[in-house]
A = this chain, B = another copy of it.
Amino acid sequence: MLKDRPKDTQETPEAERVLDAVRQIVSEGRLPSDGRLPTERNLAAELGAGRASVRRALDRLEAEGLIWRRQGKGTFAGQPPDPTEELAAQIASDVDPLSAMEARLCIEPALADLCARRATGEDVARLRKLAERTHDADDSDSAELWDGALHRAIARIAGNRLMLTAFTLIDEVRMGEDWQEKRHRARTPQTRAFYDAQHQKIIDAIDARDGTSAASAMREHLETLFDNLRKSIESRT
């Protein structure tokens, strides 16, 4: 810390070399579809370094959240899988889009309420950024992705582990099913503008730390979604 050279970028000569090499492998994504990295032993051999150095580099990347590791399994790029996914996959088969919306309509207003009561200024800034991304998205697909991220962020900020798990469950089922096309049709330029305004309203309420308003704004938003989804289903049965 007291040294005058920039510790973060240099560390020690070998450490930096290995770290950069591994970071490049991860970021460039030249790896199997499951995101698995070479084993530590292979990595060490390929880079002509010792296993300890490789492990130090991986420790760093893990701390940064770029990779995750599991003893006996391997090292993988990205975030560790959530056990909720499995449960979601199991029950996904007997859940229809309407009951999924029903569930969202139940839990998300409550999450917005809690979110409003617990959000920090930083949290609100993050939400605004996500809403902006949703608004700026070029195609309907990426808009949906950012929209999902926004709702998830609200759920996380709410700070209730149980409700977050329940939300994740609903979210996983919703994403994993074959309703994609249905929701796709329900998303037109007009509705998108509408959704953006509703997002604004929700975030404004959260920013004002007004839980009740946040909940009702979220409920209104979801009901709009719900209606459009229902119309979309009815129109082409």
Contacts and interface: CB of A to CB of B under 8 A. Distances in A.
A180 interface: no
A31 interface: no
Interface residues of A, number: 27
A166 B84 CA distance: 11
A162 B114 contact: no
A175 interface: no
A38 to B, nearest CB: 29
Interface stretch (A15-23, A52-60, A71-79, A101-109): A101-109
Interface stretch (A89-97, A145-153, A206-214): A89-97
Contacts of A100: 162
A172 to B, nearest CB: 10
- Which of A102, A106, A162, A163 is packed against the most chain B CB atoms within 10 Å? A162
A161 B106 contact: no
A170 to B, nearest CB: 6
A203 interface: no
A99 interface: yes
A45 interface: no
B99 A161 contact: yes
B161 A94 contact: yes
A160 interface: yes
A110 interface: yes
Contacts of A105: 110
A83 B90 contact: yes
Contacts of A165: 87, 91, 169
A124 interface: no
Given A165-B169, A166-B169, A160 B103 contact: yes
B91 A161 contact: yes
A110 B104 CA distance: 11
A217 interface: no
Contacts of A111: 106
Given A83-B91, A105-B110, A165-B169, 8 more contacts: A84-B87, A91-B161, A99-B160, A99-B161, A99-B162, A103-B166, A106-B110, A166-B169
12 contacts: A87-B87, A91-B161, A94-B161, A99-B162, A102-B114, A103-B160, A103-B163, A103-B166, A106-B110, A107-B107, A107-B166, A162-B173
